[in-house]
């Protein structure tokens, strides 16, 4: 008798308005861009991007700390608009894409960072090396596209040292300093589609 009462209470709690689960979102790779900026010759900025980013986001607006993010970037799609440089980036001097074709990120902690802003700490894996990084994330509200699909946007920014991930190639300059900067600014502009609710 008591077990039946407990089961009924659990069912009622799950059906209550305040007990809604996190909302699932799927990254739309055709409207998402992962990019980076690194110094060249100590003075100029070189920009690059990756052509494909996929993944899933779970947002719990009632308790943001229960939200999660997982993303995968196809390292073989790196593009700096210079074929020789792109080939070098794909080589063993940098991403070594024949052995490590994917860059991944998996969140460990999500906290509120202000209005429509989040702090996301997670494991970033590049070239088989995993390090914790912190991303500043801004997010939009929900909108519908002309076909009735619910969309939401996210922009994540952060900074890493490429040497931490085994990307150590460089050349010294006669005037001092190095050919390629070690600090890399990263930005991921995401458009995500709301997953259908299971019934």
pLDDT in tens, 118-147: 999 999 999 999 999 999 999 988 999 999
Mean pLDDT of the chain: 89
The Cα 178–Cα 181 span in angstroms is: 7
Indicate the pLDDT class of residue 21, thresholds 50, 70 and 90: low
pLDDT of amino acid 4: 47
pLDDT of residue 198: 59
Lowest mean pLDDT among 4-8, 74-78, 127-131, 168-172: 4-8
Alpha carbon distance, N-terminus to C-terminus of the chain? 29
- The answer to which of 20-29, 93-102, 115-124 has the lowest mean pLDDT is 20-29
What is the residue extent of each domain of the chain?
21-194
Return phi, psi of residue 87, to 5°.
Answer: -65, -40
pLDDT of residue 10 exceeding 50: no
Residue 172 has pLDDT above 70, yes or no: yes
Residue entry with tokens 């699932």: 24
Distance CA 90, CA 79 (A): 10
Q: Is the pLDDT of residue 65 over 60?
A: yes
Tokens of 75: 């390292």
Q: Domain 21-194, CATH 1.10.443.10 — does that match?
A: no
pLDDT exceeds cutoff 70 at 8: no
pLDDT-derived band at 196 (thresholds 50, 70, 90) equals: confident
Please report which confidence band the pLDDT of residue 113 belongs to, taking 50, 70 and 90 as the band edges: confident
In whole angstroms, what is the distance from residue 160 CA to residue 184 CA? 5
| Separation CA 24–CA 68 (nearest Å) | 10
């Amino acid at each position: 008798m008591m077990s039946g009462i407990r089961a009924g209470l659990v069912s009622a709690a799950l059906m209550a308005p305040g007990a809604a689960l996190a909302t699932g979102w799927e990254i739309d790779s055709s409207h998402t861009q992962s990019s980076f900026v690194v110094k060249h010759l100590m003075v100029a900025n070189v920009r690059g991007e990756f052509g494909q980013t996929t993944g899933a986001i779970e947002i719990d607006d009632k308790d943001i700390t229960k939200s999660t993010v997982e993303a995968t970037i196809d390292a073989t799609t790196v593009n700096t608009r210079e074929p020789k440089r792109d080939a070098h980036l794909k080589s063993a001097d940098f991403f070594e894409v024949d052995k490590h074709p994917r860059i991944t990120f998996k969140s460990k902690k999500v906290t509120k960072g202000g209005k429509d802003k989040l702090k996301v700490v997670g494991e970033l894996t590049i070239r088989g090396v995993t390090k914790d990084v912190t991303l500043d994330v801004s997010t939009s509200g929900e909108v519908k596209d002309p076909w009735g699909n619910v969309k939401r946007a996210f922009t994540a920014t952060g900074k890493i040292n490429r040497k931490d991930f085994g990307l150590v190639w460089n050349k010294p300059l006669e005037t001092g300093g190095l050919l390629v900067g070690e600090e890399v600014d990263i930005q991921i502009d995401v458009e995500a589609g709301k997953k259908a609710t299971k019934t």
